[in-house]
A and B are shown apart, each in its own frame.
Chain A
Amino acid sequence: MLLQQILNGTVSGAIYALFALGFTLIFGVQKLLNLAHGAIFMAGAFIAYYATAQGLPFWFALILATVATGVISVAVDFVAFRQLRKSGHAEFAAIVTSIGVDLILMNIAQQVSKTKVLSFPFGTFPVKFFNFWGMRISLLQLTILGLVLVLVLALAYYINRTSFGRQVRAVSSNEHASALLGISAGAVYRQTFFIAGALAGLAGVLIGLSFNSIHFMMGEPFLLQAFVVVVIGGLGSLQGAVIAAILIGIIQSLTIAFLSSELSSAIIFALLFVTLLLFPNGLFGRAGNYAGGSRT
């Protein structure tokens, strides 16, 4: 029973990781909190749903949704953030513009779905279970784990080994210096927004499939969750986000199973608070320490 919960938690944590990775990538590179990320996640689920409803094979719908949300994400950047970057007022203002985008996307989704809760047609994904070590794992869960693992490794490779990844790292640490070196910050931003959006959209499809419910406000709780993940994992740290996401998934699964779902929320956010108490920059955070008048 315990092991089963841990397994379930790991799977949901894996999906949180996809969502959180995109969020932390954008923050790491641009220091922006993109509150529209939840809506992009939701858009992924919507696109996949309407694609399968039209009769397209699921795998195709999945890829379509992933790519489409990547594009939507770049469009969001263009509409909401590009102008702010130019005027140099990014931090606070970005929160408001991303809220604006969030409102727009949710409204569109609400109208399209007529405020109904949607579910994928039966048989969209084969229902098959495997048993081992006393645990029951579905084909879907296995697929999710596999998919997330591959994507995380691919992202890590991309950021750390390719030349474009180097550019991403350069722009995140110092945009001006990078520009002097001929790196196009705009191209970097577009790519990171595409990746972040695609990952979030994919996560949306997987969640929509796992819980078999899709509705226009489904992104909100995930956004809150993402805050916990990126803080505990360290804003801007990719490996931190993955580890923290899985931890959160497991803790959540265990507390819901053995305590209650409301308490689960309280515990996770209290955990966040305590983590910040002990590690003011997150568990894996890198920024300098704030002295606040004391001697260093």
Chain B
Amino acid sequence: MMSFYYSYQPLIDFFLIAVGLGYSQQLALRAGVFSIATAGFSALGAYATAILVTRYGAPVPLAILVSAVVGMAVSYVLSVPLARLRGAFQAIATLAFVQVVIALLLYFESFTGGAIGISGIPRVMNTGWLLLAVLVTIYVIWSINRTSVGRVFNALRQDDSVAASLGVPIKSYYALAFVLSGLIGAVFGALRSLYVFNIEPVDFGFQAMVASLTVVVLGGRNTLLGPIAGALIMAILPELARPLAENRGILNGIILILVITFLPNGVGDELVYWLRRRLRRAPKTMSNGKEGANVVAAD
């Protein structure tokens, strides 16, 4: 068991980080905010912590806290203009945000190290801390799912005018979802920077955006299991494909296409739905055979 852990440790650690970023991405989408800004928040969080720790010798907990605050502040400010946009436009606006962040990181070389980035970041993070962070995140999302905020997010995603007609201040809740997403993204970005020794702008660009989105779409956009399943697939895929050497990309691509085409809700969500149906706790549909017939006859 322990030798398994040691040989796969980096994989497990990156898996945990991917899960965290996946939850950041999923939270926004669950509330109906079509945001792919997680990579941008992750960049802000990573750089804030890296700069504070390497250049100003700040204690790590303080640095992470600052990253969290930066993430929340920026996402709050962004949520205002974002609220006026819908669908694909919202996604593209968040994409623009990420690109602006990257461009600025590249430009302000003296502060951020430009294209070379920041190196020599002490590796403070290990599997234990990462696991703790993921568990805390899971707890928060689990709480959301079981209480009022989760209900509002579901309503917002499916029909926000109905939510408004029931008294929900929709702009505030959209902002809440986005701020939580920014917070989680920034924190995991900070944790990542404390794990990888050095960070550079290219770590947070288009590829990173696509990676978080893929984790959620592959794994599931609605259930707690979603990002875990998605990150698992993304972590295992390159390993499975390793024997194929240069053809890895082709296998990755094929698997992505197959999984999404046949399990469009995502592997994790489909699993959860299937389990719920087995345990008879899922919303039943009218075409439930005997029960349905009785119901119709009784009327």
Contact = CB atoms under 8 A, between A and B. Distances in A.
A235 interface: yes
Contacts of A134: none
B206 interface: yes
B30 interface: no
Contact of A104 (B102, B169, B249): B249
A97 B261 contact: yes
Interface of A: 27, 31, 33, 35, 79-80, 83-84, 87, 89, 92-93, 95-97, 99-104, 106-108, 110-111, 220, 223-224, 227-228, 231, 235, 260, 262-263, 265-266, 269-270, 272-273, 276-277, 280-282, 285, 287, 290, 292-293
B235 to A, nearest CB: 16
B104 interface: yes
5 contacts: A93-B261, A96-B260, A235-B89, A276-B93, A292-B160
B103 A263 contact: yes
Given A92-B221, A93-B264, A100 B170 contact: no
B170 A293 contact: yes
Contacts of A103: 249-250, 252-253, 256
- Chain A interface SS verdict (over half): helix
A263 B88 CA distance: 25
Nearest to B256: A100
Interface string B64-101: 00000000000000000101111011011101110110
Listed residue (B160, B161, B255, B256) with the most chain A CB atoms within 10 angstroms of its CB = B256
Contact of B256 (A84, A97, A107): A97
B88 A235 contact: yes
B84 A292 contact: yes
Nearest to A86: B261
Contacts of B252: 100, 103
Contacts, number: 143
Interface string B225-269: 000000000000000000000111110111111001100110000
Interface stretch (B144-152, B210-218, B279-287): B210-218
A280 B99 contact: no
A285 to B, nearest CB: 8
Interface residues of B, number: 48
B176 interface: no
Shortest 6 CB-CB contacts between residues of A and residues of B: A107-B249, A100-B256, A103-B253, A266-B103, A104-B253, A89-B264
Listed residue (B249, B250, B252) with the most chain A CB atoms within 10 angstroms of its CB = B249
Listed residue (B92, B169, B206, B265) with the most chain A CB atoms within 10 angstroms of its CB = B92
A226 to B, nearest CB: 10
A281 B90 CA distance: 10
Contacts of A89: 264-265
Listed residue (B83, B100, B102, B106) with the most chain A CB atoms within 10 angstroms of its CB = B100
A95 B29 CA distance: 14
A280 B34 CA distance: 14
B254 A292 contact: no
Nearest to B86: A290
Contacts of B106: 262, 265
Contacts of B261: 83-84, 87, 93, 97
Contacts of A227: 92, 95-96
Contacts of A111: 246-247
A33 B106 CA distance: 28
Listed residue (A31, A35, A83, A276) with the most chain B CB atoms within 10 angstroms of its CB = A276
Listed residue (A35, A83, A224, A292) with the most chain B CB atoms within 10 angstroms of its CB = A292
B174 to A, nearest CB: 8
A203 B221 CA distance: 36
Contacts of A262: 103-104, 106-107
Given A97-B257, A100-B256, A273 B206 contact: no
Contact of A277 (B81, B160, B210, B253): B81
B88 A266 contact: no
